[in-house]
Structure formats: structure tokens, C-alpha cells
Amino acid sequence: MPRCLLSQLVHAELITPKLEESLAFFTQIGGLYLVHREAERAYLRCWGDHYTYSLILTQGELPALGHAAWRTWSPEDLEQAVRNIEASGVQGEWVEGSFGHGPAYRFRAPGGHTLELLWEVERYQAPPERASTYPERPQRFTGGGLEPRQLDHLTVASSDPYRDAEWFRRVLGFRFMCYNGLEDNPDLVVFAMVTTNEKNHDLAFAKDMSPIPGRLHHLAFWVDNRELHQRAADLLLEAGVPLEYGPGIHGMGEQTYLYFREPGGLRIEVNTGGVRNYVPDWEPVRWRPSQGSNTFYRNTAMPDSMLEAFPPAEKVAAADLELVPDSQQPNPWGKRGLG
């Protein structure tokens, strides 16, 4: 099996048409910490992030994914990853001068999503008022807002989830964990999960019937336990934020989930729990909805709104933009930062 060249998801950039409102939400309700601000961009961190930040908010026309970044295991693995990507027929570019990390290789994955790979990264040094009494913690836990410990995973929209999962397994060594088909057509894969570590996934692909490349389904943050997860649902409702789906437990990966929308319109998940898988020669598992793939207890349906991705497909006709699915074209909306 291919050796995984990447260690972890380190940050994601979200494009928001309401930067100030999104920033206020993530800091005041979400419990993230602002570490750096530019005119149209803000950098935020979770209290448990070992690096300077894990979320970038960038002003843009419509809600979208700007880019997401993974760190490699070593400088040599970064070089090997670039060779593998280019050998697969994808051509990226080196980006320098980003806040908080060194040179990054930026490329578009088969579904059109902009991703970065990097090695050199700035570790967070907490100011005295945020320093933890526990030496392994980068920052103290204060319990303000949702206050997730760290960024957990990214789920993107894909015209072919199985194909994309296979590409990340073959080219970058992700572990292909599982996939889900339709009940009456199990071969039509509508969801697939891959991971760089023992979690069930840090990247997933949801079926997208639109021809628009590079769309986002959701970004997920981790809290330590189910008590904090239930507390998050309480805090969101008291703040007037509707819960789109959950709380509940997924069958695939057995994560406890909770989905909602932030002010810019993007879907955010708070999750916890989940199985840890250390099997080195794991083979992807096929699921069906009736087995509880999406809802562990098999007693509730996912709302239709969870099929929406960002930017919304109905905002602009893809044909009018001359878009071709899976052609390495960038998503046409929003400004893209350097991260």
C-alpha cells in the first residue's frame, strides 16, 4: 500500500461574503482566537492548535472554499508528494510569503479544489495570559463559546467521490477508509472518506450533481467529548443559530455530529468521538444507508438542505461560465488568499 506522505490537515481558508459577521461569530460564539488580521482576511486558531492558526476567513462574493492545507511528515516527503502529483498529470505551483508557514505547493485536486502541501510551519507561542499549566498544551482551555480543541476534517463536493478517494490514496498515500452507495444502486457512490492518520477521515467527498468544480460541503471542528458537544448545541440555540442536522452519530466512522451555518452561509460541523483505526492494510468498506451509514441509530432522515454545497449552484449557471467538471478549473467565486 502507498505510504502516507502527509501528517495532518493544518488549516483551511473559507471565503465569506460577510467577513465581519463571520469573524464575530467564530470569535464570540465559536470560541476561536484571532491571531492576525489583514484588510480582507483574518487568521484564527483553536485553543489546542499547535501551529499559529487553523482557519482563515477571506472576504469574497459568495461562500466557498479558498484552499485547504496539509503538512507532510518531512521535507523529503513534501518533495516526493510534489513529484507524485505532477506524475499524475496535475501541475501546481510553489507559493511563498504566506503568513505562519514556509513555502507551499499549491495545486488543484481532480475535483477542482485548491489544496496546499507544506512542511515549514510556525509553532504557536502563547502569550502569558493564554499559557497553559500543562506543558504539552499550546494554550490554556478556558471554556468560552464552543471552543473546539482543533480543526478536524474537510468535506468537499465531488462529481465522483470514489475516483477522488482513489486518487488521494494512490498519489499521496491517504488511507481509503469507506464509501457509501445508494440503497437501490450500491455502485453509485455518493460519499467516500480518506485519512492521513488513525481517524476515520480528515478528508471526505460528497456527491455533487452540478458541473461546478471545487465546491465545499462543510468544515469540521473537534471538541473533546460528548458533554462538550451537547453544550455546543445548547450554546448555538441560545445564540439564535438554527441546527441544520444533529446532534447525532454517523455510522461511518461513528463520529458524533452537529451541523449549522455560520453568518456567511457556510456549513460548519462540531464533532467528537469516532473510532480509531490502526490497521496498516485496511481495505475500504462499502456501506448502504440502511446499515446506518449516515445515521447510526437508523431512525431519522438527513434533511434535504444537507445536499447543498458552496457556492450555491443556482447562483450562476455553470454553462454561462463555460465550466467543465473535473478539468482543473478553479471555482469561479471568491478571492483566494495565499494562506
Q: pLDDT (tens digit, 9 = 90+) per residue, 136-180?
A: 999 999 988 999 999 999 999 999 999 999 999 999 999 999 999
Backbone angles phi, psi at 191, to 5 degrees: -160, 140
pTM for the whole structure: 0.92
Q: Answer yes or no: are the C-beta atoms of 93 and 140 closer than 8 Å.
A: no
131 burial type by CB count under 10 A (0-12 exposed, 13-18 middle, 19+ buried): middle
Percent of the chain with pLDDT over 70: 92
How many C-beta atoms surround the C-beta of residue 6 within 10 A?
24
- At 319, the pLDDT band (50, 70, 90 cuts) reads very low
CA atoms within 13 A on the CB side of 163: 11
Low-confidence winner among 82-96, 262-276, 313-327 (lowest mean pLDDT) = 313-327
- Nearest 5°: phi and psi at 209? -85, -5
Q: What's the rounded Cα separation, in Å, for the pair 177 and 311?
A: 27
Residue with cell string 492518520: 197
Contact assessment for residue 42 and residue 27, using Cβ atoms and an 8 Å cutoff: no
Cis-peptide into 63, omega within 30 deg: no
Please give the average per-residue pLDDT across 285-297, as a whole number: 92
Residue 330 pLDDT > 70, yes or no? no
In sequence order, the 6+-apart residues with CB closer than 8 A to the CB of 297 are: 248, 249
Evaluate if residue 337 carries a pLDDT over 70.
Answer: no
The predicted pLDDT at position 77 comes to: 98
315 falls in which pLDDT band (50, 70, 90)?
low
Confirm if 92 and 107 have CB atoms less than 8 A apart.
yes
Task: Retrieve residue 240's grid coordinates.
Answer: 439564535
User: Average per-residue pLDDT in the chain?
Assistant: 92
pLDDT in tens, 90-133: 999 999 999 999 999 999 999 999 999 999 999 999 999 999 99
Residue 46 in this model has a pLDDT that exceeds 50: yes
Greater confidence (59 vs 185) lies with 59
- 335/5: higher pLDDT: 5
Give residue 313's pLDDT: 83
SS3 305: helix
